C-alpha cells in the first residue's frame, strides 16, 4: 500500500504570507500631524481671546451710546420711540392678550399702538413684569405715559443689552465658530456682525 504524504508549509511562512501588510508611518507625517494640532490649538486659543476682546469692545460701545439722549427725550406729547417701547410694556402687562391689538378706552392705537408681531408683544410682556416688580409706576396703565427717570432709563437700556447677549449673540457664535466655518475669518465676521454701527445706534441709542 502506497502512502502519499502532503507537504505542509511551515506555520511561519503561512503567517507571513497571509498576515495583513504592516503600514509604515512616515516620520514626516507624524511631525506634520503634531504641527497641525499645535496650529489648530493655537488658532482656537487666539480666536477665543479675539472673541473676548470683540465682546468687550461691543459692551463698551453699548454702554457709551446708552449714556446719550434717547429718541423723544422730554418731548411731549408722543415722547419718541423710547416711549413706544415703554408703552408696549404697559399695554401687554395690564391688558389681556385679546386687547393688545384692538383700539379701546385703555389702548389708544393712535398713541404708539402695538404694531409688531405677537413674539415682540410677549417679549415686552416679560419686560413689563420685571418693570412692575422694580417700580409699578413705570407701567401704570394710562398714568405712566411719558414717564422718564434716570433709573427707568437704566432699566430700558439694560432691556436692550441683556437680550442682545442672550438671544442674538449665541447663534452668531455658533455659526461663525462651527466646524464648517473657516476659523481664520470667524473673528472678523463676528466683529462685522456685532459692531455694525447702525445696529448699535438704533438698539442702544434711538429706541431704548
Inform me whether the pLDDT recorded for 19 exceeds 70: no
Instruction: Supply the DSSP symbol for 180.
Output: T
Structural Rg of the chain based on CA atoms: 32
State the Cα–Cα distance between residues 46 and 83, nearest whole angstrom. Answer: 43
Interval 46-69: pLDDT, tens: 788 999 999 999 999 999 999 999
State the Cα–Cα distance between residues 116 and 124, nearest whole angstrom. Answer: 11
Inform me whether the pLDDT recorded for 30 exceeds 70: no
State the Cα–Cα distance between residues 77 and 146, nearest whole angstrom. Answer: 8
State the Cα–Cα distance between residues 85 and 112, nearest whole angstrom. Answer: 9
Residues 47, 186: contact at Cβ < 8 Å? Answer: yes
Mean pLDDT of 75-87: 95
Lowest pLDDT segment from 32-36, 44-48, 105-109, 199-203: 32-36
Model pLDDT, residue 170: 95
Amino acid at each position: 500500500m502506497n502512502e502519499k504524504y502532503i507537504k505542509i508549509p511551515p506555520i511561519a511562512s503561512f503567517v507571513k504570507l497571509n498576515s495583513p501588510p504592516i503600514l509604515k508611518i512616515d516620520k514626516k507625517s507624524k511631525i506634520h500631524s503634531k504641527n497641525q494640532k499645535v496650529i489648530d490649538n493655537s488658532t482656537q486659543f487666539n480666536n477665543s481671546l479675539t472673541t473676548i476682546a470683540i465682546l468687550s469692545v461691543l459692551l463698551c460701545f453699548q454702554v457709551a451710546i446708552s449714556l446719550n439722549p434717547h429718541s423723544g427725550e422730554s418731548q411731549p406729547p408722543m415722547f419718541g420711540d423710547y416711549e413706544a417701547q415703554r408703552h408696549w410694556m404697559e399695554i401687554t402687562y395690564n391688558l389681556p392678550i385679546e386687547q393688545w391689538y384692538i383700539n379701546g378706552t385703555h389702548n389708544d392705537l393712535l398713541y404708539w399702538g402695538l404694531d409688531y408681531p405677537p413674539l415682540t408683544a410677549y417679549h415686552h410682556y416679560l419686560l413689563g413684569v420685571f418693570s412692575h416688580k422694580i417700580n409699578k409706576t413705570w407701567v401704570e396703565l394710562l398714568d405712566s405715559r411719558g414717564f422718564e427717570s434716570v433709573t427707568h432709563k437704566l432699566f430700558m437700556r439694560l432691556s436692550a443689552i441683556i437680550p442682545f447677549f442672550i438671544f442674538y449673540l449665541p447663534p452668531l457664535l455658533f455659526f461663525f465658530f462651527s466646524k464648517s466655518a473657516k476659523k481664520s475669518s470667524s473673528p472678523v465676521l463676528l466683529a462685522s456682525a456685532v459692531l455694525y454701527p447702525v445696529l448699535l445706534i438704533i438698539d442702544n441709542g434711538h429706541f431704548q
